[in-house]
Amino acid sequence: MNLQPAEQRRRRHRSEARRTILDAAEEILLEDGGHRLSIRGLVSRCGYTAPTIYHYFSDKAGLVDALLEERFSKLLRRLRRAPQHADPAENLRELTLALVRFGLRNPSHYRLLMTPRGDGREPPQAAEEVFALFEKPLERLAEAGRLIAEDPEAARQSAWAMMHGLIDLQSSRPDLPWSKSLSSVGVDTLLRGLVLSQPAPRGRRSNAQS
């Protein structure tokens, strides 16, 4: 479809305005946290008027939704490129390492994804898809009787805690001589504590937890 020059300029202007507003909102969120984001502060930061901001985003919550959707979509694309294996444990390993690498390479984006919202709104669609990617191998492992912990939620939270710790420590203390193999060693250690190579009888899994 060929666009007239005037329409091309309008679209470019809309795209640039939206990008400027989103970038300014991200800066404020990273500096002050979501509870201190205000339209008045955003106007001062981005240079666009409040009516213009409301034109592109229905309200402050809609603006945060759009920003999180954009960032989670970037993470989702990265996770979907992770190698796939027949073994769900290998798939979980690949996804975990992919998320850690994303967080280390994009610390500002990762911090934004971890910023508490506290408004009770549903997560963005891309966030739900990210969570679903991690749920699938965990569900397969649980169904196969290969999780040492009988509570899949505990296994998921353990994996999340490990990922967050690996990202947060290395990002917040770049002055320390972190090993290049830290992430892979940490993830492999976690999986050895969570996943059995072969299904075990229920009694043996229970004994492993005691």
CB atoms within 10 A of CB 31: 10
Residue type, 96: T
Instruction: Check pLDDT > 50 for residue 194.
Output: yes
With a cut of 70, say whether residue 51 has pLDDT above it.
yes
Q: Identify the burial level of 5 via C-beta atoms within 10 angstroms of its C-beta, where 0-12 means exposed, 13-18 middle and 19 or more buried.
A: exposed
Q: How confident is the model at residue 62 (pLDDT cuts 50, 70, 90)?
A: confident
Distances (CA, A) of 174 to 106, 162, 168: 14, 18, 10
Average pLDDT of every residue of the chain = 86
Among 24, 26, 22, 19, residue whose Cα is nearest residue 108: 26
The stretch 104-126 carries a mean pLDDT of 81
Contact in structure between 21 and 54 (CB atoms under 8 Å): no
Query: Cα 158 to chain center, whole Å?
Result: 16
Q: How far apart are the first and last CA of the chain?
A: 66
User: Does residue 118 surpass a pLDDT of 70?
Assistant: no
The answer to whether the beta carbons of residues 73 and 126 sit under 8 Å apart is yes
Average pLDDT over residues 84-99: 95
| Mean pLDDT score, 149-158 | 85
- What does the alpha-carbon distance between residue 208 and residue 210 come to, in Å, rounded to a whole number? 6
Q: What is the largest CA-CA distance in the chain?
A: 72
pLDDT tier at 44, thresholds 50, 70, 90:
very high
> Which run of H or of E encompasses 94?
helix 88-105
User: Which tops the pLDDT comparison, 186 or 3?
Assistant: 186
Question: Could you give the dihedral angle defined by the CA atoms of residues 94, 163, 128 and 32, in that order, rounded to the nearest 10 degrees?
Answer: -140
Which of 167, 184, 179 shows the shortest CA–CA distance to 108? 167
What percent of the chain has a predicted confidence (pLDDT) above 70? 90
Question: What pLDDT sits at residue 35?
Answer: 61
- Ordered by where they begin, the domains of the chain are 1-57 (1.10.10.60), 67-209 (1.10.357.10)
Report pTM. Answer: 0.80
Q: How far apart are CA 164 and CA 124, in angstroms?
A: 20
